[in-house]
Structure 1
């Protein structure tokens, strides 16, 4: 919600950091409540994941506005369900088409690796790339054009072209 309401690069970066801190804080709090602790490396990894996704969201909302939900909705609704699956139990088509590319797979595997043997390897590079792409999107380009409240999209057609107007008038 912060990404939609706050405008300007400084506020978008602030909201990305705030979202990452709140996300990691809530996950850490829930794990502490359940009696499972996290090491410093695991907390750093969680912050890297949350920060990367927050920067990506901020950049997408800057350029697409609320239409970014079309991209983020698919990413956030489908990918975690697939990432939590054991790859050997997935249909090979799903393994190649969905499981292999989802960044949530790297988050899941990376956190497991950090908690068990202390290194996440490829996952750090994946989230560094996502964070860099999000930062470039936040810092570059112009803001998305706001949607008109009446839902009419101006496509730049003049009445001189004798085309039907927005009221669906037919040229006679």
Structure 2
């Protein structure tokens, strides 16, 4: 799952216009999948070696309802650090709703809505803190064209640092490097 070096490709062969593509999406998902697995394992083994450092990973929140996700999103957006870093309109409210189907979570730019599949087992895979922060990063980055580009990645790293701590931020940062994309500072 390797992404390309650029965030958006706006011109096709011969200068014709083509829809933008999300060149880093696959690599971002690959990195996040690895971090999800490590966070899941941290319940039994909270410490691990990453880039020469021993990290102790915190527990990751798992949500039982969309209402609990909404409360979490509101709390993250209210963090002084988040409000200071992101403009008022970006830090404004986000609505959380159920998404039909179980294979994707997504953020709707036009309505500032985070849509998550709910349920138990594989149907509830998105009801976890890292997925919610990923979708919230789309909101705060505010770039519907370069969906998983450098601005998005920087925003996600900032949110993870604010909500989960520097250990998880470092883990994702190193994982971005490992999958071949610029993690941004």
TM norm. shorter chain > 0.5: no
Structure having the higher helix fraction is 1
Structure having the higher strand fraction is 2
State the TM-score, normalizing by the size of structure 2: 0.28
User: Which is higher, the Rg of structure 1 or of structure 2?
Assistant: 1
State the TM-score, normalizing by the size of structure 1: 0.30
